[in-house]
Structure 1
Amino acid sequence: YKASYWYSSFKFGMNCYYDSVTELDWVHSRLVCLSMGADLVSINTAEEQAFINGLLSPQVNAWIGLNDIHSEGKWKWVDGTAVTTTFWGPGQPNSYNGTNQDCGELVENSLMGQWNDEDCSAENIWICEK
């Protein structure tokens, strides 16, 4: 994919992270990550959550590798692993107004960010992890 998708890359622990400047739906965001040998980010610790949140501009939402596409209410990471540590915002996930919100996004805030479920066809920036 075009270099113009990328804003910058960062290293945290043993992994590299890439955040985009353009917006795509969740599936296409994941395809961009996969095309570079990466995938949408999986967040497993509070430190990683705070680091990812810090990559985002104020009040920006970014796709992460979280979804319940295959089984409603059973959130998994893109690599198929179960979600063990969560950072859901208050009342989330909620499939707002009965809509099909099967993809996870990180919503930046001044603390450490929060997760929200969103319609996979919405367009956000995204963060890849390699």
Structure 2
Amino acid sequence: SCSEHWTARGDKCYRVFTEQMTWKKAEENCIGLGIGAKLASISSAEEQQFVDKQLLICEDLWSGLIFHHRDSMLAWTNGNSVSFTNWAPGEPNVTLEADGCVRVN
């Protein structure tokens, strides 16, 4: 069961913050809740569909997917392995000279 303002999906709870913020601020917001919250990780097409429905609330969402330029690897901030991706045509569009984060839109 999820707390008020959170939405249950499987064994996870989701919350959308509608304020515009940077990826770093969004990550800090999750950590600052003090309940072990992380930016969303998407591990299946079904979970992607659920997250897509959240885009009705706001135009873009930050995900917990990051790109490490040193080893050219994608990773979830919660430590889960990247086993599912659903990139738009032409994506991912990464700069090999810097770490990056992933926005869902």
> TM-score with structure 1 length normalisation?
0.67
Report the equivalent of 1:71. Answer: 70
Q: Which runs of 5+ in 1 are unaligned?
A: 1-7, 108-130
Highest relative contact order (Cα 8 Å, sep 6+), 1 or 2?
1
Identity of aligned residues (%): 29
Aligned residues: 99
Cα offset, 1:70, TM superposition: 5.6
Cα offset, 1:14, TM superposition: 1.2
Report the equivalent of 1:33. Answer: 30
Query: Which one has the bigger strand percentage?
Result: 1
> Contact (CA 8 Å) 2:43, 2:83: kept in 1 or not?
yes
Matches of 2:40 and 2:32, distance apart in 1: 14
Structural RMSD (CA): 2.3
Report the equivalent of 2:9. Answer: 12
> Contact (CA 8 Å) 1:44, 1:84: kept in 2 or not?
yes
DSSP 3-state at the match of 1:76 = strand
Cα offset, 1:58, TM superposition: 7.8
Q: Which runs of 5+ in 2 are unaligned?
A: none
> TM-score with structure 2 length normalisation?
0.81
> Contact (CA 8 Å) 1:69, 1:103: kept in 2 or not?
no
